Amino acid sequence: MLNIQPYFASFIGYAINPLHNKIEKKLIKKCFSIKDKTIKGGSNWVSKNTYNTLSTYNLSNDKDFLPVQNFIIKEVLNYCKQLKIDDSKLKTKPEYGWFNIYEKYNYQEYHCHGDSMISVVYFLKCNEKSAKIFFKSPVNECTKIHYNESEPLTFRYVNIVPKPGLLIIFDSSLQHSVEQHMDDEPRISLAYNF
């Protein structure tokens, strides 16, 4: 009898910040204020028009972002506990945090955060028309296998619709991208590496 076991799964954690409504307006205003004073990061990105503070402004050092950062830290530790990840090698304060502002037509190419163990994306400002984030399966994309029915273990790609206050936690080596943002309202996400 044939026995099939699932291996090499990728795990994406989801959590909603119950205090998001209390911090949303203040942090959105702060992001736009930082944008007015801080040069754009990500100079080596293909998507040159997307404003971000990668390497130009570390959110981990900004006390205004501490409430959302504390929520993120708590959920990252929950993620590690549930997956039995050895968190003794994980710094409890994120090494770096930055934000991305997606204006109409902005996008982010596929990439991973190779210098880190766990990464997160937190949706600060978005709506139902905001650009989705896509994750690519770590299975080699050149595979010729096609499935009659798709299920989470056989997905080649998965996309997540942003929602205000939604936190996504994932292995930093997982390839991800943001589709072209087609809404007139900006989309703001925070990203932290652990």
Q: What is the pLDDT of residues 27-38, one digit of tens each?
A: 999 999 999 999
Query: What is the rounded distance in angstroms from the CA atom of residue 111 to the CA atom of residue 121?
Result: 13
pLDDT-derived band at 91 (thresholds 50, 70, 90) equals confident
Q: 3-class SS at 60?
A: helix
Question: Which one-letter DSSP state was computed for residue 175?
Answer: -
Q: What percent of the chain has pLDDT over 90?
A: 75
Place of tokens 């990668």: 54
Answer for the pair 161, 132: CB distance below 8 angstroms, yes or no: yes
Query: What is the rounded distance in angstroms from the CA atom of residue 79 to the CA atom of residue 22?
Result: 24
124 closest CA partner among 56, 59, 80? 59
The domain made up of 13-193 has a fold known as Jelly Rolls (2.60.120)
- Mean pLDDT confidence for 99-123: 96
Question: Which one-letter DSSP state was computed for residue 88?
Answer: G
Q: Where are the domains of the chain?
A: 13-193
102 closest CA partner among 79, 75, 123, 76? 123
Q: What percent of the chain has pLDDT over 70?
A: 100
Judged on CB neighbours under 10 Å (0-12, 13-18, 19+), 114 is: exposed
* Residue 109 CB partners (closer than 8 Å, separation 6+): 45, 46, 47, 177
pLDDT-derived band at 155 (thresholds 50, 70, 90) equals confident
Chain mean position to CA 83: 19
169 closest CA partner among 138, 186, 136, 193? 193
CB-hemisphere CA count at 13 Å for 77? 11
pLDDT-derived band at 143 (thresholds 50, 70, 90) equals confident
Q: What is the dihedral of CA 35, 174, 192, 131, to 10 degrees?
A: 40
Q: 3-class SS at 13?
A: strand
Q: What is the pLDDT of residues 66-75, one digit of tens each?
A: 999 999 999 9
Q: Which pLDDT score, from 0 to 100, does residue 118 have? A: 95
* Predicted TM-score of the model (pTM): 0.93
Q: Which pLDDT score, from 0 to 100, does residue 185 have? A: 98
pLDDT-derived band at 120 (thresholds 50, 70, 90) equals very high
More confident residue, 30 or 137: 30
pLDDT at 141 over 90: no
